[in-house]
Structure 1
Amino acid sequence: MKDQFFATYFNTQNSIDIPIDIANYFINKKYKRIVVKITCKEKSMEFHAALQKSKNKYYILFSKEKQKKLNVLVNDGLEITLSKDTSKYGVEMPEEFEAVLQSDFDGASLFESLTDGKKRGLIYHILKIKNSQTRIDKALIIIENLKRGIRDQRELIKKF
């Protein structure tokens, strides 16, 4: 699997257009999840993303938070490298959540029974938490709520 590189200019609010030939390279191989490396003004970042399609265009989401971290402004030049996402969940798994899942077989089984999108959503929720102990606490709450039979994303993250 070879990485795909292209240069572009940032010109939209929260997405980056992917050239059709590069998008097709991943789509034809059935790789919808990718790892994106963006370099701008000698700063770079890497993140997981999904190839999105709208009409005849492909794009990836590029949040305001990511734009701020890279200090990207409209019309700034970007160098982008796309790679196949080989992670289990399509996103980086926080070590605290991984430890909680490893220590609770029943909770891990319930977590694995969720759709891929729900798993990613819960992982993203925990990734946003800065404090390690708070991440552990939130992971424990999610697992306990799964054991209670709760499956609604918004309810899973609440302490009862």
Structure 2
Amino acid sequence: MRFTASLSPIEGPMIHHVIKVPEEVAAGFRINKGAIRVLCSIEGKEEFPCALNPRDGEYVIMASKQLISKHRLKNNETFSVSIRPDLNDGLELPEEFLEVLNQDEWGSQLFDALLPRLKRSLLYYIRSAKSVDTRIKRSFQILEKIKTQSLHSQKNQNP
């Protein structure tokens, strides 16, 4: 689905801008309560995973500083947005990480056991690297941290 939007400032400690999703667009995706994982494209550029988040009776897409900068978004300027369902729930594996997992069955099992939100964060970190070499390096580092339970979120879990 495609719609026209603009950047909207909000008050908050971590997120300062959102992209408001028209009700008729959000209604086409809403199945149950909570965030809805989608693939988003701004001005027809490369898709990225994101979520339609409920906020004050409407749905919004959180706009990070990186997203705003990358797409040169400005307050009160309209731009086109297209969204479609994310069948992988934001968990599409970068090919570099997939190859690392294919070489380590135990590491792959440990990764599969992580919560989806943690997996999404780790995959985003790997995908955000610009070079293949950095994505490979991050893939090995992440898997090693999973195996040694040295991820920050793992330190707070009971085995």
TM-score per shorter chain, which class? 0.7 to 0.9
CA distance 1:149–1:74, shift in 2 (3 Å): closer
Instruction: Give the structure-2-normalised TM-score.
Output: 0.80
Is the 8 Å Cα contact of residues 91 and 116 (structure 2) preserved in structure 1? no
Structure 1 gap segments, 5+ residues each: 156-160
Contact 2:6–2:20 under 8 Å retained in 1? no
* Cα distance between partner residues in 2 of 1:46 and 1:14: 19
Aligned residue for 1:55?
Answer: 56
With over 3 angstroms needed to count, the CA separation of the structure-2 counterparts of 1:10 and 1:134, relative to structure 1, is: closer
Determine if the alignment matches structure 1 residue 83 to structure 2 residue 80.
Answer: no
Amino acid at match of 1:20: E
What number of residue pairs does the alignment pair up? 148
Structure 1 SS opposite 2:120: helix
- Structure 2: unaligned runs, 5 residues or longer: 10-15
Q: Map 1:1-160 onto structure 2 (within 5 A).
A: 4-12=1-9, 13-28=16-31, 32-39=36-43, 44-87=45-88, 89-153=89-153
Distance in 2, matches of 1:149 and 1:65, equals: 29
User: 1:158 matched to which residue of 2?
Assistant: none
The answer as to whether partners of 1:45 and 1:70 remain within 8 angstroms in 2 is no
State the superposition RMSD in angstroms. 2.4
Instruction: Please tell me whether the aligned partners of residues 8 and 20 of structure 2 are also in contact (alpha carbons under 8 angstroms).
Output: no
Q: Calculate percent identity across the aligned residue pairs.
A: 30
Aligned amino acid, residue 51 of structure 1: L
Scaled by the length of structure 1, what TM-score is found? Answer: 0.80
* Separation in structure 2 between the aligned mates of residue 74 and residue 144 of structure 1, nearest angstrom: 42
How far off its partner does 1:151 sit? Answer: 4.8
